[in-house]
Structure 1
């Protein structure tokens, strides 16, 4: 079952965000300490009005609990949603880098898609993406976009199979990505 995330889901959402972001997540805490990074994302997943908020997350729930998530938001709101997170990590961890714009107005942006390692390969990611595309269309958006690492051809293939097309290549926080979009 796919449903809207709730604040109490933050503990299950945070490890999935960190899994999706991989080494990028640790950059925000300037630490190799995974517990600290996990705590950061759990805090923000449980709060409203930010980039990683439960408000922007759909979760996949099975008999074991939450085994997948997708977070997305209106690209026009990126700066507003990003501000509380950047302010916190600047003051708490000394992170002063300003990340590049990963989305823009006119695009409903998928920030993270993640499935628990034990349940990968069962179509959960595909179901979450389809649910998100439907959600975006219902909220009046005409296109959905995302960044996919050039080092992740499996993900690129998944998105291409769902109708996403590469519109450009871009750098983001030291990595090389394809910016892909899908009309909804």
Structure 2
């Protein structure tokens, strides 16, 4: 079952967000320690009004256990949603000079992180979360859904292409090279 996340999902969802981010988690927080990264993201997940908030998250739950998550939001609101995060890491982790590239843009509903627990991968949960993200975008009146996928991640690329996402262009983000992909919602 896919449902909106709540603050009480933090313990289950934050490791999934970190898994989806990979090395970007260290770059975004300017922190090496995984426990500290977990604490930072947990703090923001449980708050309102930021890009990692439970408000911007759907979870896939089965038998009371969260097995996957999708974090998504209006791309035009990224700077507003990111501001509390940047302020926090600057104040608490001396990361004031972070170069936070923009991964999304006005006019798209951005799928920020999609993640499935390793024990549940290969069961179609990611696909269900992506479909739910597209439906969420449609409900909010968006006509375009966007995401980034690392160029060295052919499995994710195939999944998105099967779901009718197309490569719009290539994008440098936080030192990596990504495919910027979009899905057009038929109105």
> TM-score band, normalised by the shorter chain?
over 0.9
Aligned to 1:67, what secondary structure does the other structure show? Answer: strand
Cα-to-partner distance string for 1:121-147 (whole Å, 9 max, x where unaligned): 110000000011011111100010001
- Listed as ranges, the matches of 1:6-155 within 5 Å are 6-63=6-63, 65-95=65-95, 96-155=97-156
Q: CA deviation at 1:64?
A: 5.2
Aligned to 1:55, what secondary structure does the other structure show? Answer: helix
Aligned to 1:168, what secondary structure does the other structure show? Answer: strand
> After the TM superposition, which parts of structure 1 deviate over 4 Å for at least 4 consecutive aligned residues?
none
TM score, norm. by length of structure 2: 0.96
Q: Is the 8 A contact 2:30 2:89 kept in 1?
A: no
Q: CA deviation at 1:92?
A: 1.1
Q: Is the 8 A contact 1:28 1:93 kept in 2?
A: no
Q: Is the 8 A contact 1:4 1:55 kept in 2?
A: yes
Q: CA deviation at 1:27?
A: 2.1
Q: Distance in 1 between matches of 2:177 and 2:98?
A: 17
Q: Distance in 2 between matches of 1:77 and 1:124?
A: 27
Give RMSD over aligned pairs. Answer: 1.0
**Structure 2: runs of 5+ lacking an equivalent:** none
Q: Is the 8 A contact 2:60 2:129 kept in 1?
A: yes
Q: Is the 8 A contact 1:29 1:36 kept in 2?
A: no
Q: Distance in 1 between matches of 2:68 and 2:28?
A: 22
Q: Distance in 2 between matches of 1:56 and 1:69?
A: 10
- Listed as ranges, the matches of 1:145-184 within 5 Å are 145-184=146-185
TM score, norm. by length of structure 1: 0.97
Aligned to 1:180, what secondary structure does the other structure show? Answer: strand
Q: CA deviation at 1:102?
A: 0.7
Aligned to 1:28, what secondary structure does the other structure show? Answer: helix
**Structure 1: runs of 5+ lacking an equivalent:** none
